[in-house]
């Protein structure tokens, strides 16, 4: 049986010299795939798929069967951790997530379930076992959580907001409450991700999608601090960790203190400049603008070459989009992107 530790993605994370750049796509299982839509209709919606381990496994494997990707990522969501708090998550079509309760006061915080029992999310660990068995160690599996800060923005707002008024207000008026909420989410996250590790994931990814909302000091105190705490509490201290954030340009100083292996970034920064600014401390994941996938084959090849060349180093690059793929992208364009990375990246790794 092949050893996952020898796989390209894990070797790139360790910054070993490899033959080509590994590639996967955030949200690679999703609505741009007709086979996803068809299973989603049969299953009765996103949450039902996530909570059914057989279906979650099947969805995870859909892009793996269709394309030549270098890893799988568990089909789930950063917000299902709400089950450990007794908060009910739902998704209305095209409206994003919604919770049945919010945490906006000390009283709200006292009322939530605080034993953080991982059994409440057993469906995730069952899905992981099934996926690992289907993958047969041919590809590594990424498990994930949201950063406490990013999850907190949803717990406080209660839905998908673009303005974050309530969170920003809490930051000004009652930082202690915010810190207490972050401590609670951190405790639950540690138990949750550790159980994913026990269930068999090969890589941990922490999504800090809304880290960019914070100024430098707050970013350090309200986000990075808790990410590092999670890292330090992992049952397997050597499991690789990928941290993802958006708009990281003014966060370089703070990011240097991150205790992770890889930083994933969006397309707002130049990947090579970002790598150098961090003194090559991390492997870097990213960062093709997903809008490029609306262009033709030649343009996709040119843009992929642009990212590979901008990265500017022969180790430690994991190719990805800057943000998750969206339903308006045709699957053929993903095929084209993967061909481009396969054909163009060897020359950048062999330098
Ligand atoms: O990458 C993968 O394929 C793994 C699965 C995955 C999902 N969500 C599935 C999903 C992962 C890693 C996430 C992470 C996630 N979820 C983040 C952080 C990463 C990011 O995209 O910034 C956030 C902020 C969420 C919360 C969330 N989930 C929102 C705001 C939404 C609605 C917006 C949207 O894209 O539809 C979701 C829904 C969601 N999560 C879908 C999928 C496949 C779409 C569900 C559907 O309607 O079919």
Kindly give the residue spans of alpha helices, DSSP state H, lying in the chain.
8-13, 34-43, 46-50, 53-66, 106-111, 122-135, 148-157, 165-173, 175-199, 216-218, 225-232, 252-255, 271-277, 297-311, 331-349
Q: Alpha-carbon distance 174 to 77, whole Å?
A: 28
CB neighbourhood size of 256 (10 A): 12
144, β-bridge pairs: 205
For ligand 1, the distance from its centroid to the CA atom of residue 27, given in whole angstroms, is: 7
Q: Alpha-carbon distance 77 to 271, whole Å?
A: 26
Would you say residue 1 has pLDDT above 60? no
Q: Alpha-carbon distance 284 to 164, whole Å?
A: 28
For ligand 1, the distance from its centroid to the CA atom of residue 323, given in whole angstroms, is: 11
> Among all chains, which residue has been given the structure tokens 């986000």?
223
For ligand 1, the distance from its centroid to the CA atom of residue 295, given in whole angstroms, is: 24
Q: Give me the pLDDT at residue 2, please.
A: 59
Q: Give me the pLDDT at residue 94, please.
A: 83
- The ligand 1 atom nearest the CA atom of 150: 24
Would you say residue 3 has pLDDT above 90? no
What would the two tokens of residue 48 be? 């039902």
For ligand 1, the distance from its centroid to the CA atom of residue 313, given in whole angstroms, is: 31
Over the stretch 191-231, which tens digit does the pLDDT of each residue have?
999 999 999 999 999 999 999 999 999 999 999 999 999 99
For ligand 1, atom 2, the nearest C-alpha belongs to 27
Strand 96-99 with 89-92, pairing: antiparallel
For ligand 1, atom 12, the nearest C-alpha belongs to 77
Residues with CB under 6 A from ligand 1: 26-31, 40, 46, 73, 75-79, 91, 96-97, 144, 160, 207, 209, 324
Tell me the mean pLDDT in the region 7-22: 98
128, β-bridge pairs: none
- The ligand 1 atom nearest the CA atom of 209: 22
pTM across the whole model: 0.97
Q: In what order do the strands lie in the sheet with 262-265?
A: 72-73, 141-146, 203-208, 241-245, 262-265, 283-288, 317-321
Helix (H, G, I), strand (E, B) or coil at 23: strand
25, 27, 93, best to mutate for ligand 1 pocket (most atoms within 8 Å of CB): 27
For ligand 1, the distance from its centroid to the CA atom of residue 139, given in whole angstroms, is: 22
CB neighbourhood size of 96 (10 A): 12
- The ligand 1 atom nearest the CA atom of 30: 43
pLDDT band at residue 351, thresholds of 50, 70 and 90?
A: confident
For ligand 1, atom 47, the nearest C-alpha belongs to 46
For ligand 1, the distance from its centroid to the CA atom of residue 342, given in whole angstroms, is: 27
Q: Give me the pLDDT at residue 242, please.
A: 98
Helix (H, G, I), strand (E, B) or coil at 262: strand
Would you say residue 160 has pLDDT above 90? no
Q: Which are the contacts of 19, defined by CB distance < 8 A and separation ≥ 6?
A: 8, 346, 349, 350
28, 30, 318, best to mutate for ligand 1 pocket (most atoms within 8 Å of CB): 30
For ligand 1, atom 28, the nearest C-alpha belongs to 77
Would you say residue 114 has pLDDT above 70? yes
Q: Which of 258, 137, 271, 134 is nearest to 208 (CA)?
A: 258
CB neighbourhood size of 299 (10 A): 13
Q: Give me the pLDDT at residue 220, please.
A: 97
For ligand 1, the distance from its centroid to the CA atom of residue 118, given in whole angstroms, is: 21
> Among all chains, which residue has been given the structure tokens 């409206």?
95
Residue 163 vs residue 240, higher pLDDT: 240
Query: Would you call 190 exposed, middle or buried from its count of C-beta atoms within 10 A (0-12, 13-18, 19+)?
Result: buried
Would you say residue 256 has pLDDT above 60? yes
For ligand 1, atom 8, the nearest C-alpha belongs to 77
275 contacts 262 by C-beta, under 8 angstroms: no
Q: Give me the pLDDT at residue 95, please.
A: 87
31, 77, 160, 213, best to mutate for ligand 1 pocket (most atoms within 8 Å of CB): 77
Q: Alpha-carbon distance 247 to 283, whole Å?
A: 18
């Amino acid at each position: 049986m092949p050893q996952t530790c020898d796989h390209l993605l894990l070797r790139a994370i360790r910054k070993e010299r490899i033959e080509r750049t590994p590639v996967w796509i955030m949200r690679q299982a999703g609505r741009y795939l007709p086979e996803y839509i068809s299973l989603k209709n049969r299953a009765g919606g996103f949450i039902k798929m996530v909570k059914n381990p057989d279906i979650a496994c099947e969805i995870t494997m859909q892009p793996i069967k269709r394309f030549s990707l270098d890893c799988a990522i568990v089909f789930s969501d950063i917000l299902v951790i709400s089950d450990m708090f007794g908060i009910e998550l739902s998704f209305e079509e095209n409206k994003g997530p919604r919770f049945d309760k919010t945490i906006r006061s000390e009283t709200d915080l006292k009322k939530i379930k605080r034993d953080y029992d991982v059994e409440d999310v057993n469906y995730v660990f069952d899905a992981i076992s099934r996926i690992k068995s289907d993958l047969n160690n041919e590809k590594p599996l990424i498990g994930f959580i949201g950063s406490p800060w990013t999850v907190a923005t949803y717990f406080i707002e209660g839905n998908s907001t673009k303005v974050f008024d309530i969170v920003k207000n809490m930051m000004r008026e009652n930082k202690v409450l915010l810190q207490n909420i972050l401590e609670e989410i951190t405790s639950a996250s540690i138990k949750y991700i550790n159980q994913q590790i026990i269930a068999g994931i090969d890589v941990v990814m922490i999504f800090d999608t809304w880290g960019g909302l914070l100024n430098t000091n707050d970013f350090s105190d309200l986000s990075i601090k808790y990410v590092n705490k999670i890292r330090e509490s992992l049952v397997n201290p050597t499991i690789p960790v990928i941290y993802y954030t958006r708009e990281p340009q003014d966060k370089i100083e703070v990011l240097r203190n991150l205790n992770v292996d890889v930083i994933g970034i969006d397309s707002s920064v130049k990947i090579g400049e970002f790598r150098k600014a961090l003194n090559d401390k991390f492997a870097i994941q990213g960062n093709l603008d997903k809008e490029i996938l609306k262009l033709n084959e030649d343009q996709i090849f040119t843009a992929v070459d642009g990212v590979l060349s901008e990265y500017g180093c022969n180790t430690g690059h994991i190719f990805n989009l800057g943000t998750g793929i969206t339903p308006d992208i045709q699957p053929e364009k993903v095929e084209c992107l993967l061909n481009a990375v396969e054909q163009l990246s060897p020359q950048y790794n062999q330098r």
